[in-house]
Chain A
């Protein structure tokens, strides 16, 4: 069935380093992807999104890369800070048909930033 998965369940980095969180998706019809950050006891917080007609999108300290050939998504965080410590989820959606509006989430990657 359709699924979104993450290569690494945990990632530990030093403060100031760059972090890369990876995600593989299996539905080639997916055309919209979102990264969320979830801190303990809180709901997922939107970070950045990308549509399938793009292969790169930048935000503040974050960059999302999309490789449709290998169905791979990554989130790059520059100059990682202790406040970036959280669980990061990728989610995918196919805009048309019966899956319209339905986000499918991956399992999540735990990012720990050491001061």
Chain B
């Protein structure tokens, strides 16, 4: 089966600009996650969707970050305006069933964001 698809692979922007990332999860996976991975650290969950509803966005900086999964399949993550500390890899993951408690999460290769 095809894995989690993410685009773009790389993005370079200046601070205060906006940027958007796209994710297509594994077909049939109801749960979708966005993670931020800063260099040298493990991924940190930003937001979790179950179908088109938000399950957990407690770690999402809502003053600048937003995410949507309108039709319960693809998802976009947006940053506006970007700050220097947003430089990181943004990973999308998906899982079947009711989240990681039942099934492992499978990750895409991420978007590497550099803020100048």
Q: Which A residues form the contact surface with B (CB < 8 A)?
A: 4, 31-32, 34, 36, 41-46, 49, 89, 91, 93-96, 98, 100-108
Residue of A with least CB distance to B102: A95
* In contact, A34 and B109 (Cβ under 8 angstroms): no
Among B4, B31, B44, B107, point to the contact of A101 (Cβ < 8 A).
B31
Interface 9-residue window, one of B11-19, B61-69, B93-101: B93-101
- B107 contacts A93, C-beta separation under 8 Å: no
Q: Which residue of B lies closest to A94 (CB)?
A: B101
Interface string of B83-116 (1 = CB under 8 A from A): 0000000010101001111101111111000000
**Taking each of A4, A44, A93, A98, which has the highest tally of chain B beta carbons within 10 Å of its own beta carbon?**
A44
Across the interface, do A103 and B55 meet the contact criterion of CB distance under 8 Å? no
**Which residues of B lie under 8 Å from residue A45 when comparing CB positions?**
107
27 cross-chain CB contacts under 8 A: A34-B104, A34-B105, A36-B107, A42-B109, A42-B110, A43-B4, A43-B93, A43-B107, A43-B108, A43-B110, A44-B91, A44-B107, A46-B104, A89-B43, A91-B42, A93-B100, A93-B101, A94-B101, A95-B99, A100-B56, A100-B98, A103-B33, A105-B43, A105-B44, A107-B40, A108-B40, A108-B42
The CA-CA distance from A43 to B4 in the complex, in Å, is 10
Do A95 and B104 have beta carbons less than 8 Å apart?
no
Shortest B100–chain A CB gap in Å is 4
A34 touches B107 (CB 8 A): no
Q: Which residue of A lies closest to B31 (CB)?
A: A101
Are A101 and B56 in contact, with the CB atoms below 8 A? yes
With CB as the reference atom, state the residue of chain B lying closest to A90. B42
Residue of A nearest to B44 (CB): A105
Q: A42-B109, A43-B110 are in contact. Are A101 and B101 (CB under 8 A)?
A: yes
